[in-house]
Amino acid sequence: MLTWTDCVELSELTEEEIDAIAQHEHIPEMIALEMGNYLVHTHTGEKRVKAMIRDDIRLAEEEGKTDRVAMLKLVLKHYLEHHACK
């Protein structure tokens, strides 16, 4: 049986990237993991994940959540370093 950690490792995403997708789409983390795993294997999907993280940053800025903004900017930086969509 696969654990959460196994699934994360197979997804080519970090837990923080999965969390950003879950927050953006208002879905459970396991569904976000599956969705993200699918998206990162397509060029347009990689761009969609990038857009989701950027949307999350904008929302956190609007809400004045500076700690979340900083964390999401690091998530975006890491995502861009590891995926083709620049």
- Structure pTM? 0.90
Specify the pLDDT at position 42: 87
Q: Distance between CA atoms of 17 and 6, rounded to whole angstroms?
A: 16
Quick: pLDDT tens for 40-86: 998 899 999 999 999 999 999 999 999 999 999 999 999 999 987 75
15: left (phi over 0), alpha (psi -120 to 50) or beta: alpha
Q: Where are the domains of the chain?
A: 14-82
- The mean pLDDT value for 1-24 works out to 94
Token representation of residue 8: 């994360």
CA–CA separation, 77 vs 17, rounded Å? Answer: 11
Helical segments of the chain, H only: 4-11, 15-25, 29-39, 43-62, 66-82
